[in-house]
Structure 1
Amino acid sequence: MCKRFRYAGRVRSYDDLCGLARALAAVGERWALLVVRELLLGPKRFSDLSRGLPTMSQNVLSARLRELERAGVVTRRVLGPPASARVYELTPRGRELEESLLALGRWGSRQPLPATGQLSVDALMLALRTTYDPGPATGPQPPVGLRLGADRFVAEAGPAGLRVTRGAGERCAATVDTDPRTLLEVVYGYLPRDEAERRGALRVTGERQAAERFLGSFTRPVTTGDAGAAPAAG
Structure 2
Amino acid sequence: MAARDYGQYSGITRGLELVGERWALLIVRDLLVGPRRYGELAAGLPRIPSNILASRLKELQAAGVIRRLPRSRVIVYELTPYGRELEPVVLALGAWGFKALGDARDEQVISLESMTVDLRTAFQAGVAATLPRTAYAARLGPAELLIRVDGPTLDVTPGGGPADLVFAAGPAIHRVITGELPADRAIATGAVEVLHGQGELLGRFASTFHVAA
SS at match of 2:149: strand
What is the TM-score of this pair, normalised by structure 1? Answer: 0.68
SS in 1 for 2:26: helix
Q: Hey, what does 1:202 align to over in structure 2?
A: 194
Q: Counterparts of 2:163 and 2:203 in 1: how far apart (Å)?
A: 11
3-state secondary structure, aligned to 1:202: strand
Q: Helix, strand or coil for the counterpart of 1:55?
A: coil
**CA–CA separation in structure 1 for the residues paired with 2:143 and 2:5:** 42
Structure 1: distance between partners of 2:9 and 2:150? 39
**Percent of aligned positions that are identical:** 33
Aligned-residue Cα RMSD (Å) equals 3.6
Q: How many residues align?
A: 206
Decide whether aligned partners of structure 1 residues 209 and 177 sit closer, same or farther in structure 2, where only a CA change above 3 A counts.
closer
TM-score (norm 2): 0.74
Query: Secondary structure of 2:7's partner?
Result: coil
Over residues 135-167 of structure 1, what are the superposed CA-to-partner deviations in whole Å (9 max), with x where a residue is unaligned? 8665465142434356433343656xx734325
**Alignment partner of 1:97 is 2:90:** no
Alignment-derived partner of residue 113 in structure 2: 122
User: 2:58 maps to what in 1?
Assistant: 66
2:143 counterpart of 1:153: no
Alpha-carbon distance in structure 2 between the residues aligned to 1:169 and 1:115: 25
Report the secondary structure of 1:38's partner residue.
Answer: helix
Is the counterpart of residue 86 in structure 1 residue 78 in structure 2? no
Structural mapping, 1:167-186, within 5 Å: 167=158, 174-181=164-171, 183-184=173-174, 186=176
Quickly say closer, same or farther: Cα 1:120–1:169, change in 2 above 3 A.
Answer: closer
**Matched residue SS, 1:146:** strand
Q: Secondary structure at the match of 2:88?
A: helix
Identify, as 1 or 2, the structure richer in helix: 2
Q: Measure how far apart 1:85 and its partner are.
A: 3.4
Aligned to 1:40, the other structure's residue is in SS state helix
For the residue of structure 2 that corresponds to 1:26, the secondary structure is helix
Rate the CA distance shift 1:19–1:186 in 2: closer, same or farther, 3 A.
Answer: closer
Unmatched 5+ residue regions in structure 2?
Answer: none
CA shift digits 1:70-127 (9 cap, x unpaired): 11111222332xxx43322211111110001111111222236487344423222322
Look at both structures and tell me which one has the larger radius of gyration over its CA atoms. 1
